Structure 1
Amino acid sequence: MLNAESLNVTQNLTASSGKQSVAEGDSSEVESSESDDESTQTPQQKNYTLGGSLSEVINPDEEGCMCMKYEIYCQQPSDDHHYFKNARKFCKSRSFTKGLRGQLVVIRNKRSDRILRKFIKDNKLHRAPCTTNKGFWIGLDALRQDNLFIWSNNFPTCGYRNWAPNQPDYDGKNNKRCVQLSYKRGDNGKWSDEYCDSQPKGFICEIPGSYVKHFDENCMCMLYEFYCQQPDDDHPYYANAEAYCNTRFVQNGGPRGRLAVLRKSVVDLKIREFIMYNNLDGPPCITKFGFWIGLEDTLNEDEFIWSDGESHCQDDYRNWAPGEPNNNTKKK
């Protein structure tokens, strides 16, 4: 099947590990305009090795939540000079939702810090072959103002902090302006400042997904994959689409995928907006003008059941077209 696009919305933690090479600009959307003192174009002719990725739900305000994807990259090549700035440029090229680009990670609270350090330790990313210089760049630096460390999102470090003992030791003169998760003896991933260009490091990107307001209290992070029209000989169509989705998963050993459950109006709206925005509602993606979702009445006629086993009840959210369901087919 042809994967047309994918969309992450917030619906909690998903993770995957396993090293793979990611070339600069290898993302669903690359911003080319300048929003600060440097272009978002990535360092030329550089490949970085992805050590692993995971997602976390964060709460930017009291009304909603956001799915944040973290990508943890192994040590930069030794000839990748301007190490910190090149890592920052690369993260800005990463995105998985149109219009939202990545940045070097902002560690907002103890929970996020613990999740990242645990993932690095569990997957042994703080050791060779992933890293030998015992550190991962994060989005905190004093490059913009002496003696003031500022995050990638332009907020100062006035909230949560986790500095290693005797850190930071930048004094305005020694030029140790960039911050890493340090894995030097005894630091265990706590923060320390470092010379920005002295050594290649690993680095951590954060890439925001969709922001969802008034969602449910569980805030599960869900990945939606949109597939274009099945081949004409892919009989039976619905059953094969359902079987294929059941093979998909985000994390090895984690929950299997399914045809989409649209139990919330906000999810239904985002999916329809995504299809229209990416021109997936017509050729060349589809010619039959429809996408299967996980709702069917094959067990009992007119009793529609979602692919997660829950009934499509009268009081539930529904968005049938006029005159539907009309039972022309048993699956819709």
Structure 2
Amino acid sequence: MKKVGRNELCPCGSGKKFKRCHLDVNKIEEDSIEDFVKKYKKLNKEKRIKQCLYPDHTKCSDKIIRAHSIQNNKIIQRLSENGNVYMNKGKSNNPIAVFTKWGRKEATTFTGFCGYHDKVVFQPIEDRDFNMTDEQIFLHTYRCLAANMHDKQEHVKFGESAVKKFSLPAESDFGLLNFGNRAAVNDFSREKTIFDKALMSGTFDVLGSIVWEFDFPIQFAGSAFEAPTRDLRNQKIKNPTNDNIISHLFITIFPENEKSYCIISWLNESQVILNELIEQIKSLDESQRRNYLNVTLVKNSDNLVFSPNLIESMSKDEEANFGFFSQGAFLLEALFESEEVLSTDNFYISHPGYDLFLLR
């Protein structure tokens, strides 16, 4: 839109010069937007929570560090070019961008562990090759849970401050979103109690899991979670226990050496609820696995890192399709809850219009 000059006729049709008509109104609107952006950035900075999520704090080091939810030296460094990677996560100066460039030292970081426990707890996956042990699967899942729980806690803090700062009613879209985030924190807290007990006792068989091995190194990595309400045939998942327990699937994917691995895991207590979905996932062939991960990871997580080569070689259509799944996930969920498409199946294993597994 062309900017109106001070001495030009006002576009409102009054016949007056812009400076003597709507210039001041325009200035107020611009100031309001600028003020909003400043407040947003301030709230985004103030939402930070520094804590160690390890259950026993007796050996905590003094400093809470910016821990990586995806291994930095082992994975992110491998994906980076000139010290940079891409993420499907906006920054405060461009929160709606499909992709943004991040330095590898800042990508996937969260202030959820002290320096001591971040090093000691995750050594079996940091310092050893992945060999599919119960302990390694547990630790990948535990870090996924911790990072997402911490993220939701910060979202709650941001939301509560924003509701007050902008005087938003509780029934507004923002207020309802914050209500959902609080519920998610409660769900994670209940699950973390089970994880913490297993971690402290060294009993890592509290999880069920599927591990997929790909015979080539992918150009991305990340972790995600979802609380599925429908299976791969778009049928509603029923809870035979008739309680309100939320069941999560956790997904971690990464390249290592000349292969790649994807871990899909869940608490054993969730098996009875997720059994049909789990069996469907187990039955997927190679092509369907790739499609399932292309959709599920992007729809459920902004904690993905990509090599610049992968993103910069995407076509405009591929990027647009990725953006639709990444940023329009809530529309998809609403669509699949509608009566008109209850018979739709194979959506989660259909090609989404981009392929993160291509070697470009």
TM-score past 0.5 threshold: no
**TM band (smaller chain):** under 0.3
Calculate the TM-score normalised by the size of structure 2.
0.20
Calculate the TM-score normalised by the size of structure 1.
0.22
